[in-house]
């Protein structure tokens, strides 16, 4: 609406952040502006309602809509590298509610209910100094170039894995003559899902004198590779995942002094409560 007299009362950026990806791994047109100075707005009332919608939380739609609402530099949050999601969500939380977040945890020793105050700004400092490792050296002749998944890809893999794990759990209720057949089918689907994950993350395979980028060729190679190759890829992906996870927060019970760790996750169903 042109010439809205209320325009000067519209929300303004509350903080700015540096994206851990350093602007890499973005498709053209998804990120506008300086990756090192990304303005972040507080959530609107509508944004908070989205985070109370179970379906939108489960399929990732809540995150993408809120990121696009609160970060005008990003036009399509589904395409954001997964490396930047935690930083963006933490920054939106800070812009909306401030840098302090209280977390409750029961002491594993005495059972006391403790409340710990976490400074989210420290987590932003942690992420901005990280570097994503893009190389997997398989052997002296063969190496892989990998990339982080986009948020859309990460959510799709996680959702499909959740469904398959749930189906696997439900097989315990099947008659014995059906159980093994059903389990074999689910395990085959899980193996295919892992293969698809590897195909998404591998950009190229470097061999002497040539770089292979054809996905069909890479698929065929993976299907015929030794298990050691799979393990090396898995180890690298898990190593990157561990480095890029929110670090555990060390705390002590106020009652008995027992040391413990708090693992902060980006489960939006409770992160924005």
What percentage of the chain reaches a pLDDT higher than 70?
A: 96
Q: In this structure, are 259 and 221 located in the same domain?
A: no
Query: Mind listing the pLDDT tens digit for each residue in 4-49?
Result: 888 888 889 999 999 999 999 999 999 998 999 999 999 999 988 8
pLDDT value at 194 more than 80: yes
What letter does residue 54 receive in the DSSP assignment? H
Residues 6+ positions from 232 with CB-CB distance below 8 Å = 136, 138
Contact at 8 Å (CB) between 35 and 23? yes
Residue 220 lies in a domain: yes
Q: In this structure, are 264 and 198 located in the same domain?
A: no
Q: In this structure, are 258 and 198 located in the same domain?
A: no
Residue 6 lies in a domain: no
Q: In this structure, are 62 and 161 located in the same domain?
A: no
CA-derived radius of gyration, the chain: 22
Q: In this structure, are 100 and 15 located in the same domain?
A: yes
Q: In this structure, are 229 and 258 located in the same domain?
A: no
Residue 180's pLDDT band (cuts 50, 70, 90) = confident
Residue 67 lies in a domain: yes
Other Cβ atoms less than 10 A from the Cβ of 12: the count is 9
Residue 273's pLDDT is: 39
- Cα angle 32-127-153, degrees, rounded to a multiple of 5: 60
Q: In this structure, are 78 and 93 located in the same domain?
A: yes
Residue 124 lies in a domain: yes
When pLDDT is averaged across residues 157-181 and rounded to a whole number, the result is 88
Residue 5 lies in a domain: no
How many domains does one find in the chain?
2
Residue 267's pLDDT is: 55
Residue 271's pLDDT band (cuts 50, 70, 90) = very low
Residue 238 lies in a domain: yes
User: Residue for token digits 């859309």?
Assistant: 152
What letter does residue 225 receive in the DSSP assignment? S
Q: In this structure, are 163 and 85 located in the same domain?
A: no
Residue 150 lies in a domain: yes
Q: In this structure, are 118 and 43 located in the same domain?
A: yes
Residue 83 lies in a domain: yes
Taking the C-alpha atoms of residue 221 and residue 147, their distance in angstroms, rounded to an integer, is 19
Taking the C-alpha atoms of residue 106 and residue 114, their distance in angstroms, rounded to an integer, is 6
Taking the C-alpha atoms of residue 56 and residue 58, their distance in angstroms, rounded to an integer, is 6
Q: Domain span at residue 64?
A: 11-130+246-271
Taking the C-alpha atoms of residue 44 and residue 41, their distance in angstroms, rounded to an integer, is 9
Q: In this structure, are 151 and 220 located in the same domain?
A: yes
Q: In this structure, are 186 and 99 located in the same domain?
A: no
pTM for the model stands at: 0.88
Taking the C-alpha atoms of residue 20 and residue 131, their distance in angstroms, rounded to an integer, is 8
Which residues face 74 on adjacent strands? 31
Q: In this structure, are 228 and 143 located in the same domain?
A: yes
């Amino acid at each position: 609406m042109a010439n809205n007299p209320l325009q000067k009362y519209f929300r303004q950026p509350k903080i700015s952040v540096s994206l851990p990806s350093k602007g890499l791994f973005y498709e053209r047109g998804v990120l506008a502006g300086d990756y090192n100075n990304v303005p972040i707005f507080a959530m609107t009332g509508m944004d908070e309602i989205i985070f109370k919608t179970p379906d939108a939380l489960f399929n990732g739609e809540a995150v993408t809509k809120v990121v696009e609402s609160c970060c005008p530099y990003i036009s399509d949050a589904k395409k954001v590298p997964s490396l930047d999601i935690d930083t963006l969500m933490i920054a939106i939380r800070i812009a909306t509610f401030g840098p302090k977040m209280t977390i409750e945890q029961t002491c594993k020793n005495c059972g006391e209910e403790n409340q710990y105050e976490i400074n989210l700004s420290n987590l932003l400092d942690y992420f901005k100094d990280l570097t994503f490792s893009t190389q997997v050296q398989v052997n002296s002749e063969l190496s892989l170039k990998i990339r982080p998944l986009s948020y859309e890809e990460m959510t799709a893999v996680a959702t499909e894995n959740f469904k398959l794990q749930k189906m696997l759990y439900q097989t315990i209720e099947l008659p014995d003559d059906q159980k093994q057949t059903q389990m074999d089918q689910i395990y085959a689907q899980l193996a295919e899902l892992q293969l698809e994950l590897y195909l998404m993350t591998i950009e190229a395979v470097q061999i002497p004198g040539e770089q292979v980028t054809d996905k069909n060729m890479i698929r065929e190679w993976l299907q015929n590779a030794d298990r050691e190759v799979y393990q090396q890829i898995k180890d690298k992906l898990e190593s990157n995942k561990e480095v890029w996870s929110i670090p555990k927060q060390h705390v002590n019970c106020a009652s008995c002094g027992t040391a413990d760790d708090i693992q902060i996750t980006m489960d939006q169903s409770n992160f924005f409560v």
